Amino acid sequence: MRRLASLAALLLVAIAAAAPPDAAKALEDARAKAKREGKNVLVVFHASWCGWCKRFDKMLEDPKLKPAYEKSFVVLHLDVLENGDKKALEIIKGHYATKKEFTTASIKATASYKDDKQSQRVSADIR
């Protein structure tokens, strides 16, 4: 019995250690870091089904853009829980909402993903 209790306790510790960090705590930490560094927080949401989220991540890693983002933002990546009813997430003509927009007092940038010039547009807005 003692062995079973020890095994159960070990299992609970393992599950807790594997759990993703709390989004509120992650945001609080990102805000604190941004304040210390004089930056803004850019929250990037992910979902396994979101192709545009993956493209946005690649854009953030673009060598032409990355220095501008790192200079201006603390980037926080958050995973979105899966929703079995994807119809609830759709917009006109069955397309998912993909526009990313963020605004601060000094910066406004929009990535609409309509063409290959997105790096130049976003980079120009951020600088």
pLDDT digits (tens, 9 = 90+) for 58-109: 888 888 888 888 888 888 888 776 555 555 444 444 444 444 444 444 444 4
Q: Which of the following CATH numbers is that of domain 20-126: 3.40.30, 3.30.40, 3.30.160, 3.30.70?
A: 3.40.30
Question: In this model, does residue 3 exceed pLDDT 60?
Answer: no
pLDDT digits (tens, 9 = 90+) for 35-59: 999 988 888 877 777 788 888 888 8
Which residues neighbour 91 within 8 Å (Cβ) at sequence distance 6 or greater? 97
Domain residue spans of the chain? 20-126
- Max Cα distance, the chain (Å): 66
> Which pLDDT belongs to residue 57?
84
Global confidence as pTM:
0.50
